[in-house]
Amino acid sequence: MSEEDAFRAEVREWLEANCPAEMREPVRDEGDVCWGGRNWVFKNDAQKQWLEACAGKGYTVPDWPKAYGGAGLTPEQTKIFKQEMKRIHARSPLDSFGIWMLGPALLQFGTEEQKVQYLNPIARGEIRWCQGYSEPGSGSDLVSLQTFGEDKGDHWVVNGSKIWTSYADKADWIFCLVRTDKANKYQGITFMLFDMASKGVTTKPILLISGNSPFCETFFDDVEVPKTQFIGEINRGWDVAKYLLGHEREMISGGGAGGDMVSIGGAFAKAFGKNAAGELDDPILRAEMAAFDVDVFAYRAMGERFMDMWKTGRAHPASSNMMKYVGTELNKRRHELVMSGGGSEALEWDSEETNGGARARGWLRTKANSIEGGTSEVMLNVIAKRILDLPGA
Amino acid sequence: MPLYHNDDQAMLKDSVAPFVAEQAPVSHLRSLRDSADATGFSRDLWAQFTEMGLPGMLVPEAHGGLGMGHMEAGIVLEEIGRNLTPSPFLSTGVGAVAALAKAGGTQAGRWLPAIAGGEAIVALAIDEGAKHRPDRIATTATRAGNGFRLDGKKSFVLHGHVADMSIVAAKTDGGLTLFAVPRDAKGLTADPRRLVDSSLASHVTLDGVEVDADAVIGEIDAGGDILDALLAATRTGAAAEMVGVGQGAMDRTVAYLKERKQFGRLIGEFQGLQHRAAHLYGEMEVARATVMKAQQLLDEGSEGAKLMVSVAKAKAGRAANLAVREGVQMHGGIGMTDEYDIGLYMKRDRALAEYMGDVHYHIDQVARMNGY
């Protein structure tokens, strides 16, 4: 047995013994997702058991070093682990901005002390993080941010507000871009971390067109942040933010178009019925769905090539912008077709049969895909400037 | 296998790309066109291709070839596309070789070494109407004497008038059979037509063409699988060539955006054009990855290859078509002139798009393969 086969067998056996049956069911709605944190209430015992088993083994962050709560797996082992998870339809034990965004930034820019201090609780799901980037009036134009940290010697006093802070009302800590030098646009921003329970922090959820409130407005009123709680260098937070945005785009483009992106025509053939030739009985919609499927299979090939090239340093640094652009536009198209395919049923907003209007709410949610993490227009600007090297962009 | 070229493939590209660009750039196509060349390609260039071993890339080593894969053939085809190089490489070195290698037997033994040696040009006589419908082949092969008698009409047969042999798909009593029909077969006529891209494609008439029983490629009535291999290879190859055509058009266009001034500014500064160029870049990258995936699956002999081949032909078709349309539009008035090359890219794209199934045909195939 090769080393890889042996590892696969080991993972398979561990998953068999540790992944509860309830955690192998498809995720139906947001209530099924485990976010962890100080105030987390587990939906059931299985969710708790699954998180604890994974955290104990380092499997919430399989490729992080063991010292920081990971399992220290090689890229090849991580791939095998993910394949085995997928094979049994195992749910993610923990969804976390700490894992997806802050973690990679800490691994890249954090001091040894910071890594030990912050990464372990992230891996165990003990601290739930939110991201404080956007501000009212500065959406994709991040560097125009105004939230200001005044230097008080051993601490900063932070004043300002953030918007679109996902789950800020449920988060324990925030990683946040704060202006610390008003004279310098790019090199005057510091990447700070602080407790949301700090005096002067308030949050307010924003009701969205989907009927949900995943985003908040967040206000800082004389919040004291110790001078030890920043990542990278003071006034060089933009470097960290850029690195982290690359990860966020990967996640949005991957999540929006990876696992979810399967052939959709087949799923609707039953609802429409088939004609004598065995074709979905709406020729125009069939053609649109098939054209979409072509783009899905093509995008998956691109995703594979992008990851292969990214991991070996062959990808253009800005190619994550291209993936984000293509993936999110594709995901929006998918949900338009899902609504067409679902017909009047897909319009139902809160019926039990539609799982609380999941399709309609999902469709509305995707409209943010090409806005969050940088709009499609900004992605195109970046491609034009950094990849195609067009003038004056 | 990672989805990028390995070191050997990168080396191949490094030798093929400058060779094609120097020996057969777009001016080579122009000179063939302007001299109303009756062959459709340059025999001298084909001899140079042969010196580099290109016609035999896919030919198994046992038959005197290099035994390479579709990924490697795609590297050559992309450069052919980028330079609009007229060449029988796709039909002879890719489509015909795929069919003969799959079939084995007498015809493989006869033709594969000749292809590898650069001595034989092979044409693919599949289509019978204006649109590609290989499931509706009406040409018949009936038993006569020691062999068969072929009757029917074929169209869009690239290099049909100069081919040393044509692979003819015909109906037999119990199914489909492929035949190797030599150029001098009595009753075979090839009537070449010049196409929009200056290439020559023939209307082929088979009027009681008599062939021996050993002209059968593979087994009688069992030509379906061999035809599938021929189609998969040729479609993937055409998709790779289209990626080259699209890339060539895009590169010219992006360069033009950086040098052309209007309203006192470089037109590449205008966001309207920037966004369209950036969108095109994304489409081309996705198309390239898709074609590579199809090549990889074909080389692995994977069951998923058939689906990905149709995806690749459709996706490359869409992306390359966008590239040539944006190319002509962004070049403005000069894009409409014969003097500028961008229009030639638009013409070649149109011919390749139609070859072995257009975008719509392959989208329909994808729906069928997905059960709707």
Q: Which of these, A164, A175, A69, lies nearest to A128 by C-alpha position?
A: A175
Regions in chain B scoring below 50 on pLDDT? none
State the pLDDT at residue A367: 94
Question: Number of CB pairs < 8 Å for A and B?
Answer: 147
H helix or E strand, kind and range, residue B189: strand B188-194
Are residues B93 and B192 located together in one domain of the fold? no
The mean pLDDT of A109-126, rounded to a whole number, is 96
For residue A258, what pLDDT is reported? 39
ipTM comes to: 0.95
β A201-206/A189-195 pair status: unpaired
Q: State the pairing for strand pair B200-212/B147-158.
A: antiparallel
**DSSP characters over B53-66:** T-TTSSS-GGGTS-
Q: What is the pLDDT of residue A257?
A: 37
Residues of chain B neighbouring A298 (CB-CB closer than 8 A)? 286-287, 289-290, 311-312, 315
How many CB atoms lie under 10 A from the CB of residue B22? Answer: 10
Q: Work out the minimum CA distance from B333 to partner chain A, whole angstroms.
A: 21
Show residues of chain B in contact with A319, CB under 8 Å: 285
- Tokens 């201090």 belong to A117
The residue among A285, A294, A370, A382 with the most chain B CBs within 10 A of its CB, best to mutate, is A294
Q: Do residue B215 and residue B231 come from a single domain?
A: no
Task: For chain A, give every residue range classified as CATH 2.40.110.10.
Answer: 129-235
Identify the pLDDT of residue B125.
98
Cβ neighbours of A265 in B, within 8 Å? 367, 370-372
Pair B355, B236 in one domain: yes
> Touching check for A280 and chain B: CB below 8 Å?
yes
Counting Cα atoms < 13 Å in the Cβ hemisphere of B47 gives 3
Q: Flag whether residue A259 sits within 8 Å of chain B, measured between CB atoms.
A: no
Give me the sign of the Cα torsion angle A156, A159, A164, A165: positive
Q: How many domains does chain B have?
A: 3
Q: Report the CATH number at residue B44.
A: 1.10.540.10
Residue owning tokens 């000069």 = B334
Which among A265, A299, A319 is the nearest to B372, CB-wise? A265
**Residue B1 domain flag:** no
Of all residues in chain B, the one with the smallest CA distance to A278 is: B372
Domain residues for the domain of B347 are: 224-370
In chain A the first and final C-alpha atoms are separated, in Å, by 55
Residue with token string 């993910």: A82
CB spacing of B3 vs A305 below 8 angstroms = yes
Residue type present at position B312: A
Is A298 near chain B, with CB under 8 Å?
yes
- The minimal CB distance from B286 to the residues A287, A299, A381 is found for A299
Whether residue B359 is found in the same domain as residue B228:
yes
Q: Which string of DSSP letters, residue by residue, matches A68-137?
A: GTS----HHHHHHHHHHHHHTTPPPS---HIIIIIHHHHHHH--HHHIIIIIHHHHHT-S-EEEE--BTT
Partner-chain contact A265 B370, CB within 8 Å: yes
Answer yes or no: do B116 and B177 share one domain.
no
Contact call for B269 and A326, based on CB within 8 A: no
Q: Does A294 touch chain B if contact means CB atoms closer than 8 Å?
A: yes
Question: Which part of chain A is CATH 1.20.140.10?
Answer: 256-387
Q: Does residue A231 register a pLDDT over 50?
A: yes
Contact A392 B268 (CB under 8 A): yes
pLDDT at A249 over 70: no
Residues in chain B closer than 8 A to A278 (CB atoms): 372
- Provide Rg for chain A, Cα atoms: 22
In CATH terms, the superfamily for domain A129-235 is: Butyryl-CoA Dehydrogenase, subunit A, domain 2 (2.40.110.10)
Find the CB nearest B311 among A297, A379, A392.
A297
pLDDT at A256: 40
Q: Do A383 and B367 touch (CB under 8 A)?
A: no
**Average pLDDT of span A241-260:** 62
Whether residues B198 and B285 share a domain: the answer is no
Mean pLDDT computed over A292-300: 95
B72: Cβ contacts below 8 Å, ≥ 6 apart: B9, B12, B57
| Contact check, Cβ <8 Å, B2/A308 | yes
pLDDT at A198: 97
- Among candidate residues B54, B67, B90, B32, the one with its CA nearest the CA of residue B238: B90
Residue of A nearest to B255 (CA): A390
Whether residue B238 is found in the same domain as residue B327:
yes
**Residue from B286, B288, B361, B369 to probe the interface with A (highest A Cβ count within 10 Å):** B286
* pLDDT above 60 for A252: no
Residues A84-112, mean pLDDT to the nearest whole number: 93
CA separation, residue A54 to residues A27, A46, A48, A67, B369 (Å): 18, 12, 10, 15, 39
CA closest to A292 among chain B residues = B363
Are A189 and A145 within 8 A, CB to CB?
Answer: yes
Verify that B207 and B140 share a domain, yes or no: yes
Look at A308 and B4 and tell me if their CB atoms are within 8 Å: yes
pLDDT for the residue numbered A263: 81
Domain boundary among B221, B241, B271: B221
- Does B2 reside within a domain? no
CATH of the domain at B146: 2.40.110.10
Min Cα–Cα distance to chain B from A291, Å? 6
The answer to whether A175 and A101 have CB atoms below 8 angstroms apart is: yes
Numbered residues of chain B with Cβ closer than 8 Å to any chain A Cβ: 2-4, 254, 257-258, 265-266, 268-269, 271, 274-275, 277-279, 281-283, 285-290, 292-293, 307-308, 310-312, 314-315, 318, 360, 362-364, 366-368, 370-372
Tell me, yes or no, whether B107 and B202 share the same domain. no
Average pLDDT, chain A: 91
3-state secondary structure of A361: helix
Cut 0.80: pTM above it: yes
Q: Which two tokens stand for residue B35?
A: 């001299």
A341 CB-near residues (< 8 Å, 6+ apart): A264, A267, A268, A271, A272, A285, A289
Same domain, B42 and B129: no
A313 Rama sector, left if φ>0, alpha if ψ -120 to 50, beta otherwise: left
According to the CATH classification, is domain A256-387 in 3.40.50.720?
A: no
Q: Which of B169, B197, B221 is the last residue of a domain?
A: B221
Residue B94 in contact with residue B58, Cβ under 8 Å? Answer: yes
Residue A25 touches partner B, C-beta closer than 8 Å = no
A347-360 tens-digit pLDDT = 999 999 998 998 99
**Number of helices (H), then strands (E), in chain A:** 13, 8
Q: Please indicate, yes or no, if residue B95 is contained in any of the structural domains.
A: yes
Shared-domain flag, residues B212 and B260: no
Mean residue pLDDT across chain B: 97
Chain A CB contacts of B285 under 8 Å are 302, 319, 322
Mean pLDDT of A85-111: 93
Asked whether residue B301 falls in the same domain as residue B264, the answer is yes
Measure in Å the smallest separation between the Cα of A264 and chain B Cα atoms.
Answer: 9
